[in-house]
Amino acid sequence: MKENHLKRTCKLVFLIHVITTLFSIVGLMSQITMSDLAPIRGIIPLIMVILVFIADSMYLFISKGGVTYIRVLAITYSIVYCAMLNSGNTGTTYPYMIPFLIVFLLTLDNVSVKIGVIGFALSNLIRVILTIATSANIQNDIEVVMIEAIISILTVVTILKGYGLLSRFFEESLDEVTAVSDKNKSITGKITEVAESVVEDVSVVSDALKTIGESVELLDETMENIMVGTQNTAEAITHQTTQTHDIQDIIDDTKKSADIVEGINNEAADALKEGMGVMESLFEEVEKARKAGENLQTAADELRSNTEDVSGITSIILSISSQTNLLALNASIEAARAGEVGKGFAVVADEIRNLAEQTRNETENITRIIEILTSNADTVADCATISSQSANRETEYTQSASQKFEFIQDKLGELSKAITDISNYITSLSTANNEIVDSASTLSATSEEISASSTEASKASSRNVELVAQFKKSMEGIIAKITELQSYTQG
């Protein structure tokens, strides 16, 4: 893999690590504060998420990226993913590993892909076993975990097969490039051989023209021009042909790079849209939780107020009971004074006193219960306050994450502009290549004009028929070899 591609892949891996870490922190904080599970089941994965993110980020900064960083991240995040997936009672963390598997696939590193796939498969296998072993409703839980297991199997098979297909694709592409390069070397060798033959034939023509003498001065000058023009034409055609192939290779490579960048940009834009939708849903759920906490706090305050009102009422009842008991005692005293006549009244007074005493005892019991209710109401109010504060903090975290998504969206816009610039650059290269082709055509026309001049010169040299015949034969050889050279450059 080229070093530049590996660096870009490391940047993408780090970006995905940042996003999944933010989601993981928000989810684990929600589990700790709002779930019925023990807080320790959320605190331990939360600490692991933060420590692994810090450690991997420091390693990336120190090592400047590379395949070792990818492999270390594959190992550490597989452990964190397993802890998160099996610490809660929901599958919300299930898809966090899938983006990493896709990026590991893009690195074309067999070790990273295998580590990520094994970690993903083992984590979900452990989840299936734990869910079945601890399930209270085995039928419903099996249906859920089996769906996740099927998706996990399909994901593992897709990643492994995709890695094989992608590797073969790059190998086949490299073979094709090598074949084209070998063909170009063969053509270049043939062009060089033909050019050397042209130079030799021109030298023969020059030697023949020198023997003609001053009587064919005009013909000698024309032949010298033919020799120089033909040599320059051969060199120019060779040079232009080489430039044409080089520019065409640059255009092809640039076009492939632009297509790859455009595909990655589109995938990132789609993933960003999905992430924004998830953040909006999360924000709505957090807002609902915050409002529910406020309603709970209001209800707790009302319960506390009503409990205080009931406490006041019991105080009044207790006072009335004491007064009734006192009146019953006075009535008993008066009945005793009345003698036989007041015995019946004394019995009634005793009953009233007993009822007053019973009322007082029950009222005291009610008072103790109300005190307990008051203490519970205070506890509920405090919990409601803590829940409301946690919901407010979650709202702030969600808004912060949403701002990060907007920042990423702006960067994708800049990337799209860069892709447009690359496309314009390809267009410019294509135009330059067409101009070179036109220049080669002009050189070919010049060669034809030189051939016509040689024909006129042969007619003017009637007194040197044999030398002219030799010259004509040599020029025909030159024209044939130039034509052969043109056929190779055009083919």
pLDDT in tens, 32-69: 888 777 888 889 989 999 999 999 999 988 888 788 88
DSSP letter assigned to residue 285: H
pLDDT band at 284 (very low <50, low <70, confident <90, very high): confident
Residue entry with tokens 């209270």: 136
Q: SS3 breakdown of the chain: % helix, strand, coil, rounded to 5?
A: 95, 0, 5
Contact yes or no for 381/297 (Cβ under 8 A): yes
Spell out the long-range contacts of 196-202 with Cβ–Cβ below 8 A and sequence spacing 24 or more: 197/481, 198/230, 198/231, 198/234, 198/478, 198/481, 198/482, 198/485, 199/231, 199/234, 201/474, 201/477, 201/478, 201/481, 202/226, 202/227, 202/230, 202/231, 202/478
For residue 453, CA distances in Å to 218, 279, 459 come to: 12, 80, 10
Distance from C-alpha of 85 to C-alpha of 99, rounded to nearest angstrom: 16
Segment 252-272 mean pLDDT: 75
| Lowest mean pLDDT segment, chosen from 361-365, 391-395, 399-403, 459-463 | 459-463
Tell me the range of 20-29, 308-317, 471-480 where mean pLDDT is highest.
20-29
Residue-wise DSSP of 305-327: HHHHHHHHHHHHHHHHHHHHHHH
* Pairwise pLDDT comparison (250 vs 273), residue with the higher score: 273
Total residue count of the chain as it appears in this document: 491
Instruction: Give the 3-state secondary structure of residue 87.
Output: coil
Average pLDDT over the chain reads 77
227: pLDDT strictly greater than 70: no
**pLDDT score at 115:** 92
**pLDDT score at 328:** 78
Distance from C-alpha of 341 to C-alpha of 32, rounded to nearest angstrom: 76
Distance from C-alpha of 182 to C-alpha of 418, rounded to nearest angstrom: 34
Segment 383-404 mean pLDDT: 77
**pLDDT score at 491:** 59
* Pairwise pLDDT comparison (475 vs 363), residue with the higher score: 363
Distance from C-alpha of 382 to C-alpha of 160, rounded to nearest angstrom: 53
Distance from C-alpha of 119 to C-alpha of 125, rounded to nearest angstrom: 10
| Lowest mean pLDDT segment, chosen from 75-89, 219-233, 303-317 | 219-233
CB atoms within 10 A of CB 280: 13
For residue 135, CA distances in Å to 124, 130, 138, 139, 162 come to: 16, 8, 5, 9, 35
Rounded to 10 deg, the angle between the 3-34 and 343-460 helix axes is: 170
Distance from C-alpha of 398 to C-alpha of 402, rounded to nearest angstrom: 6
**pLDDT score at 118:** 92
Segment 402-419 mean pLDDT: 77
**pLDDT score at 445:** 72
Question: Maximum distance among all alpha carbons in the chain?
Answer: 186
285: pLDDT strictly greater than 70: yes
* Pairwise pLDDT comparison (221 vs 440), residue with the higher score: 221
19: pLDDT strictly greater than 90: yes
Contact yes or no for 12/101 (Cβ under 8 A): no
* Pairwise pLDDT comparison (72 vs 300), residue with the higher score: 72
Distance from C-alpha of 307 to C-alpha of 381, rounded to nearest angstrom: 13
**pLDDT score at 216:** 56
| Lowest mean pLDDT segment, chosen from 129-143, 279-293, 349-363, 456-470 | 456-470
User: With left for phi above 0 and alpha for psi between -120 and 50, is residue 35 left, alpha or beta?
Assistant: beta
**pLDDT score at 201:** 67
* Pairwise pLDDT comparison (237 vs 283), residue with the higher score: 283
**pLDDT score at 53:** 93
**pLDDT score at 54:** 94
Tell me the range of 49-53, 250-254, 396-400 where mean pLDDT is highest.
49-53
* Pairwise pLDDT comparison (218 vs 59), residue with the higher score: 59
**pLDDT score at 20:** 92
76: pLDDT strictly greater than 90: yes
DSSP letter assigned to residue 463: T
* Pairwise pLDDT comparison (240 vs 73), residue with the higher score: 73
pLDDT band at 324 (very low <50, low <70, confident <90, very high): confident
**pLDDT score at 215:** 61
**pLDDT score at 271:** 72
11: pLDDT strictly greater than 70: yes
342: pLDDT strictly greater than 90: no
**pLDDT score at 158:** 87
